[in-house]
């Protein structure tokens, strides 16, 4: 036994380093062939297994005098601990796993890879190692069972890549999908992770047999009566593993363009998944289901599960679009049936340390904001998808009013301070304040709903005749795009560097949302200007400032003139606040947490000044920041390794005087009020007294923010630091600047 363990250890070290093996391949089979005896799956060493089946008589074990390897893992077991047959089998499985991984790796030397491939093929064909691994699934030793599952997944993927027919034992075992959920998930992960160009063919080969089995399992899993089940933990574990597998199947359909039934089962029978939310089950399971639905509707399935690089998202085809519509309709039907009333957002919160409160610690009941955000986004996205496929403007208005009323009623008790009727559009920024990517997805969905409904109304009726009623409808139901954008700017303190961070980052959909909003702003400028004035009027009425943190008075040092506080619209506008005061009536919440990975700390009572602002996001790439093809904003995409230098330029530009000669696009002459803005804003709450009210209107702040953003983009573009071609974006900002100048000239 000691000699056997020594040779196995040396073999492990060699394979770990990718060294080419010298001996005949059959010699290594003696040491790698795991022994399984009896129906209770007890283990035996390969020595015992070899004596039983006569392998030792055919192939003598290799010599003990294997060349020693200088580098050995610190965690390797010593010889004294290797006497156990369990330890021997664990090491055998580890060697098989590492050897298979080496075969699949492009970094392995060719001759070493060929040797490893030959050994694995012999293990599969002669030793029937896959059948033995399947037997180990029934072992009571959880570690041994897990290692067997890992090895089996890699070996199955190896067979798929090598186009080796899968064994009958695996086909029979896969018919019982409940026992091999983890293995199936691991195989699909390997397909995603692999860099080969035949992913679609490999997955097609794998799913061909599994397709009908999965549908049967799907029906049986969700047909169970959970309240009558004795062992609920078993069902919970199965359900969590199943959700992971289902997410990968849907991701493989979107990314690899396959249309198997197992990939479409959620969209064919979505009510089964939605019913889980009504089960008397732990809150974390319901949270998992809602987040899963959110990922499906946002086309973000598989992003967290695939450790390797995820293939680029292809434009959804007609079949995927129809399936998404079916899911959206099912969600809205469930909401209409009272789904939100059955969704409890209070309970034990799950953290890394568990959900149990330690003795002596007070448990503070608070809503689960993850569920609030996910449920809100699921409803908003479902409405957007449904409206994209609806031609009746009256039907859309009725649906929007019904479902937004349901959503706002659901959210109101959980938001502090409570959501008041005078500003229902504020719900979005308040719910998503701690999650920037979801906030922007919700804002984009809300904008999409508004644009679709506007086009539908323009085709059937005159918006100008019922403009007051139309504006009232958008505010009452909390989806006015201008209000949502203004509340978003307030949350970030009108800081152009934050907008620039979002534009450069590929972690959010801000680029697409911002471009679509700027296009709307061009056409709806008068309404935007009126809303800005109403914000200022409400601020003055309720004696509150535009921001949580009161800025210093901005004055022209030479003339000692302050900027006017309120503006009068240059044209005839309808005062939508006359009967329905929806503008902000209280200071919005401070930016409670850093909105991304880039910054670790941020004061909860103040916003840092632009001069000291940090990058709010990490940039992996900018390839996903895609807008409509006509915008061409993503032409000439660059690697975002330029981010550090760009960030320095951003911080240098903020709060300092600009040299116009450095800009690649020379802006036209600015109105006088912009010259008075040269003094940088101070957002330090401790500096400004509480009784000081900003005399800078929200319109001026937005115009200045856009000006600073445009100047910063021009600066970065000139120095070749912007990660994509921003010409179309600059054109939009330029046009907004021209409109704002005309507005100021009419005052």
Min mean pLDDT across 119-128, 146-155, 348-357 is at 348-357
User: Concatenated DSSP letters for 73-86?
Assistant: -TTPPPGGGTTSHH
pLDDT at 357: 58
Q: Residue 680: pLDDT above 80?
A: no
What is the average pLDDT across 276-289?
88
- Binning pLDDT at 50, 70 and 90, where does residue 296 land? very high
Per-residue pLDDT averaged across 80-102, rounded?
83
Residue 88 has pLDDT above 60, yes or no: yes
Q: Are 132 and 34 in contact (CB under 8 A)?
A: yes
Confidence of residue 123 (pLDDT cuts 50, 70, 90): very high
pLDDT over 60 at 499, yes or no: yes
The answer to whether 606 and 685 are in contact (CB under 8 A) is yes
Q: Check: CB of residue 281 under 8 Å from CB of residue 226.
A: yes
Query: CA dist 302 to 200, 257, 263, Å?
Result: 16, 14, 13
- Give the span between the Cα atoms of 620 and 593, in whole angstroms: 21
Flag whether pLDDT at 78 surpasses 80.
Answer: no
User: How does pLDDT run across 688-724, given as a tens digit for each residue?
Assistant: 333 333 446 899 999 999 999 999 999 999 999 999 9
Whether residue 483 has pLDDT greater than 80: yes
What's the CA gap between 547 and 609, in Å, rounded? 13
What pLDDT does residue 258 have? 87
Nearest residue to 423 (alpha-carbon basis) of 591, 587, 549:
587
Structure confidence at residue 69 (pLDDT): 40
Q: Is the dihedral of CA 240, 246, 251, 256 positive or negative?
A: positive
Q: Where are the alpha helices (DSSP H) in 505-615?
A: 510-523, 525-541
Q: Quote the pLDDT of residue 626.
A: 35
| Best CA proximity match to 294, nearest among 214, 215, 384, 402 | 384
CA distance 533 to 527: 10
| Calpha distance 497→494 (Å, rounded) | 9
- Determine if the peptide bond prior to 110 is cis (ω within 30°): no
Residue 358, pLDDT score: 62
Give the SS3 label for residue 548. coil
Task: Work out the end-to-end distance of the chain between its first and last CA atoms, rounded to an integer number of angstroms.
Answer: 95
For the chain, the domains span: 1-34+79-170, 176-297, 493-510+519-542+695-746
| Per-residue pLDDT band at 212 (split at 50, 70, 90) | confident
Number of H helices, E strands in the chain: 30, 2
Mean pLDDT highest for which of 57-71, 245-259, 372-386? 372-386
Q: Beta-carbon neighbour count of residue 309 at 10 Å? A: 9
What pLDDT does 366 receive? 76
88-106 burial, b at 16+ Cβ within 10 Å, e below that, comes to bbbbbbbbbbbbbbbbbee
- Calculate the average pLDDT of the chain: 74
Per-residue pLDDT for 176 more than 90? no
Short-list 11, 43, 5, CA closest to 27: 11
Supply the pLDDT for residue 645.
52
Predicted local distance difference test score (pLDDT) of residue 371: 92
Collapse the DSSP code of 363 into the 3-class scheme (helix H, G, I; strand E, B; otherwise coil) and give the result.
Answer: coil
Query: If you search the block for the tokens 């593993």, which residue do you land on?
Result: 241
DSSP 583: S
611 within 8 A of 651, measured Cβ to Cβ: yes
CA nearest to 732, candidates 563, 512, 488: 512
Per-residue pLDDT tens over the stretch 427-451: 999 999 889 999 999 999 999 999 9
Residue 254's nearest CA partner among 289, 291, 211, 302 is 302
Q: Looking at residue 172, what is its pLDDT?
A: 86
Average pLDDT over residues 48-69: 42
> At residue 621, does pLDDT exceed 50?
no
- Report which listed range, 352-356, 582-586, 639-643, 682-686, is most confident: 352-356
Q: Angle 194-198-202 (CA atoms, 0-180°, nearest 5)? A: 85
Confidence of residue 356 (pLDDT cuts 50, 70, 90): low
* Percent of the chain clearing pLDDT 70 (strictly above): 65
High-pLDDT (> 90) share of the chain, %: 40
At 633 the pLDDT is 39
Q: What number is the average pLDDT over the span 54-81? A: 43
Average confidence (pLDDT) over 317-339: 93
- Of 204, 218, 311, the residue nearest 267 (C-alpha): 218
* Distance, CA of 401 to CA of 383 (rounded, Å): 11
Residue 67 — very low, low, confident or very high, per pLDDT cuts 50/70/90?
Answer: very low
Closest of 306, 103, 304 to residue 189, by C-alpha: 306
State pLDDT tens for residues 528-575: 999 998 888 876 665 554 444 333 223 333 333 333 333 333 433 333
Query: What pLDDT shows up at residue 432?
Result: 93
**pLDDT of residue 469 exceeding 50:** yes
Lowest mean pLDDT among 289-293, 485-489, 646-650: 646-650
Q: Please tell me the distance from the alpha carbon of residue 4 to that of residue 62, in angstroms, as a whole number.
A: 10
DSSP β-bridge partners for residue 43 = 36
Is residue 286 within 8 Å of residue 346, measured between CB atoms? no
381-433 pLDDT, tens digit per residue, is: 999 999 999 888 889 999 999 999 999 999 988 876 655 546 788 999 999 98
Ramachandran angles phi, psi of 351, nearest 5°? -125, 180
187-191, 507-511, 648-652: segment of lowest average pLDDT: 648-652
> Residues 6 or more apart from 97 whose CB is under 8 A from it?
147, 150, 151, 154
Question: Mean pLDDT throughout 221-245?
Answer: 81
Q: pLDDT at position 315, please?
A: 67
Q: What is the pLDDT of residue 738?
A: 94
Q: Judge residue 709's burial from the number of C-beta atoms within 10 Å of its C-beta, 0-12 exposed, 13-18 middle, 19 or more buried.
A: buried
Rounded to 5°, the CA angle 621-627-631 comes to: 115
Query: With bands split at pLDDT 50, 70 and 90, how would you rate the model's confidence at 466?
Result: low
What is the structure's pLDDT at 361?
62
CA angle 499, 730, 441 (to 5 degrees): 40
Is residue 331 pLDDT above 80, yes or no?
Answer: yes
Closest CA to 251 of 174, 320, 322, 198: 320
pLDDT of amino acid 415: 77
Residues paired with 44 in a beta bridge: 35
Cα 700 from chain centre = 34
Return the pLDDT at 458. Answer: 72
Question: Strand runs (DSSP E) across 469-508, as ranges?
Answer: none
What confidence tens digit (pLDDT) does each residue in 146-160 have? 999 999 999 999 999
* Cβ neighbours for 59, distance < 8 A, ≥ 6 positions apart: 24, 26, 27, 29, 30
Residue 496 has pLDDT above 80, yes or no: yes
Q: What pLDDT is attached to residue 193?
A: 84
Sign (positive/negative) of CA torsion 616, 620, 622, 628? negative
- Structure tokens that stand for 579 in this block: 């009967």
Whether the bond between 208 and the residue before it is cis, its omega within 30 degrees of 0, is no
Q: Is the pLDDT score of 671 beyond 50?
A: no
The first and second tokens of residue 366, run together, are 């608070």
- pLDDT of res. 541: 64
Q: How far apart are CA 367 and CA 81, in angstroms?
A: 50
Q: What is the pLDDT of residue 342?
A: 86
């Amino acid at each position: 036994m000691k000699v056997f363990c020594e040779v196995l250890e040396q073999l492990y070290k060699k394979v770990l380093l990718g060294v080419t093996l010298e001996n005949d391949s059959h010699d290594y089979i003696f040491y790698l062939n795991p022994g399984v005896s009896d129906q209770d799956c007890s283990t035996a060493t390969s020595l015992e297994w070899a004596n039983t089946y006569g392998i030792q008589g055919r192939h003598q074990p290799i010599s003990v005098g294997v060349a020693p390897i200088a580098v050995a893992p610190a965690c390797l077991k010593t010889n004294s601990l290797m006497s156990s047959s369990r330890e021997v089998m664990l090491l055998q499985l580890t060697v098989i796993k590492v050897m298979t991984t080496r075969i699949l790796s492009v970094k392995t030397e060719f001759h070493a890879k060929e040797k490893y491939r030959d050994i694995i093929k012999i293990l599969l064909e002669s030793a029937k190692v896959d059948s033995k691994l399947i037997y180990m699934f029934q072992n009571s030793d959880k570690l041994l069972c897990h290692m067997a599952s890992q090895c089996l997944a890699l070996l199955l993927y190896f067979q798929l890549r090598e186009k080796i027919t899968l064994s009958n034992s695996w086909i029979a075992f896969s018919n019982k999908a409940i026992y091999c959920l983890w293995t199936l998930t691991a195989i699909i992960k390997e397909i995603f992770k692999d860099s080969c160009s035949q992913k679609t063919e490999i997955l097609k080969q794998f799913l061909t047999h599994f397709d009908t089995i999965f549908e049967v399992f799907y029906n049986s899993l969700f047909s169970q009566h959970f309240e009558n089940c004795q062992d609920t933990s078993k069902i919970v574990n199965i359900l969590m593993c199943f959700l992971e597998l289902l997410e990968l199947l849907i991701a493989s359909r979107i990314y690899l363009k396959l249309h198997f039934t197992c990939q479409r089962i959620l969209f064919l029978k979505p009510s089964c998944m939605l019913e889980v939310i009504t089960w008397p089950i732990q809150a974390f399971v319901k949270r998992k289901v809602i987040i899963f639905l959110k990922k499906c509707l946002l086309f973000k399935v598989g992003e967290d599960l695939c450790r390797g690089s995820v293939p680029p998202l292809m434009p959804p085809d007609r079949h995927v679009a129809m399936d998404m519509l079916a899911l959206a309709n099912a969600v809205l039907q469930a909401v209409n049936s009272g789904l939100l009333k059955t969704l409890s957002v209070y309970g034990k919160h799950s953290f890394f340390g568990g959900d149990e409160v330690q003795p002596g610690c007070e448990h503070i009941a608070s809503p689960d904001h993850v569920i609030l955000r996910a449920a809100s986004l699921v409803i908003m996205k479902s409405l957007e998808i449904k409206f994209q496929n609806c031609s009746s403007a009256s039907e859309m208005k009725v649906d929007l009013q019904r479902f937004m009323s349901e959503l706002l009623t659901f959210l109101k008790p959980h938001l502090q301070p409570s959501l008041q009727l005078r500003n229902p559009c504020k719900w979005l920024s308040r719910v998503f304040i701690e999650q920037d990517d979801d906030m922007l997805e919700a804002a984009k969905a809300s904008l999409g709903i508004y644009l679709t409904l506007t086009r539908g109304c323009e085709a059937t009726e005159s918006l100008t005749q019922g403009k007051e009623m139309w504006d009232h409808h958008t505010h009452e139901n909390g989806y006015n795009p201008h209000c949502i954008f203004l509340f978003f700017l307030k949350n970030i303190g009108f800081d152009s560097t934050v907008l620039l961070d979002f534009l450069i980052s590929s972690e959010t959909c801000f680029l697409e949302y911002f471009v679509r909003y700027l296009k709307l702003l061009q056409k709806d400028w008068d309404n935007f200007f009126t809303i800005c004035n109403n914000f200022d009027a409400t601020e003055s009425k309720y004696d509150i400032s535009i921001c949580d943190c009161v800025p210093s008075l901005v004055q022209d040092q030479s003339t000692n003139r302050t900027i006017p506080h309120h503006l009068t619209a240059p044209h005839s506008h309808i005062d939508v606040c006359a009967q329905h005061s929806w503008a902000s009536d209280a200071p919005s919440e401070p930016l409670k947490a850093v909105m991304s990975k880039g910054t670790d700390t941020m004061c909860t009572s103040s916003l840092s000044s632009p001069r000291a602002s940090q990058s709010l996001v990490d940039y992996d790439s900018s390839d996903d920041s895609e807008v409509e093809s006509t915008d061409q904003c993503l032409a000439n995409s660059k690697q975002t390794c330029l981010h550090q230098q760009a960030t320095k330029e951003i911080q240098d530009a903020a709060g300092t005087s600009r040299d116009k000669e450095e800009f690649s696009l020379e802006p036209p002459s600015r109105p006088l009020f912009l010259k008075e803005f040269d003094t940088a804003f101070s957002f330090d709450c401790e500096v400004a007294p509480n009784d000081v009210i900003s005399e800078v209107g929200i319109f001026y702040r937005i115009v200045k923010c856009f000006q600073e953003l445009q100047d910063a983009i021009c600066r970065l573009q000139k120095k070749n630091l912007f990660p994509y071609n921003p010409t179309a974006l600059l054109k939009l900002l330029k046009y907004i600047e021209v409109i704002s100048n005309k507005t100021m000239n009419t005052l």
